Amino acid sequence: MTKKGSFDWDKYMCTETYNKVIDGMGGSRLLIPTMFSPDQKLIYLKTYDVAFETDDAATLNGILNALYISLQHEARNINWSCEKLYLLEVDYRTIWRILDNLQALPDDYQGLENSLKEVVKMIGAGCSPS
């Protein structure tokens, strides 16, 4: 991380509590992020405000598909803020990594970057997915 002056941002992030770091960021900031439980058996998704078991490939495949549909919808209908699109992308990438680690991605899956490139093409276009 780039240091401005003599303040060590990396050290600050490693030594302060999360609440202290986000203090003063305002109400629209990410207060509770997507995160894993300490034992990595659950994943809490910010966009759904619910946790899922990380070894439940069938459910996670459904979530991956739902997140992709939500990404498409948000990209088509974006008006002034990319925050929701960003949060959806974080969750989509996280679920993709879990499924990839489980070797449980759908057979017809085109790949993470290809899927996200398709979403980017839709930003502000108001078009339907093909």
Q: What is the mean pLDDT of residues 7-36?
A: 79
pLDDT(77) > 70: yes
In a domain, 127, yes or no: no
- Sheet with 50-53, side-by-side order of all strands: 35-36, 42-45, 50-53
In a domain, 3, yes or no: no
In a domain, 113, yes or no: yes
In a domain, 130, yes or no: no
Lowest mean pLDDT among 64-68, 108-112, 114-118, 126-130: 126-130
pLDDT bucket at 128, cuts 50 / 70 / 90: very low
In a domain, 32, yes or no: yes
Which position has the higher pLDDT, 51 or 79?
51
Tens of pLDDT, residue by residue over 46-70, are: 999 999 999 999 999 999 999 999 9
| Domain extent for 38 | 9-122
Other beta carbons within 10 Å of 98: 22
In a domain, 128, yes or no: no
User: Which residues, at least 6 apart from 90, have a Cβ–Cβ distance to it below 8 Å?
Assistant: 33, 34, 46
* Chain mean pLDDT for the chain: 85
Q: Which position has the token pair 């770091």?
A: 21
Q: Is 0.95 surpassed by the pTM of this model?
A: no
Provide the number of structural domains found in the chain: 1
In a domain, 1, yes or no: no
In a domain, 80, yes or no: yes
pLDDT at 29: 54
pLDDT(34) > 80: yes
Q: What is the mean pLDDT of residues 108-128?
A: 78
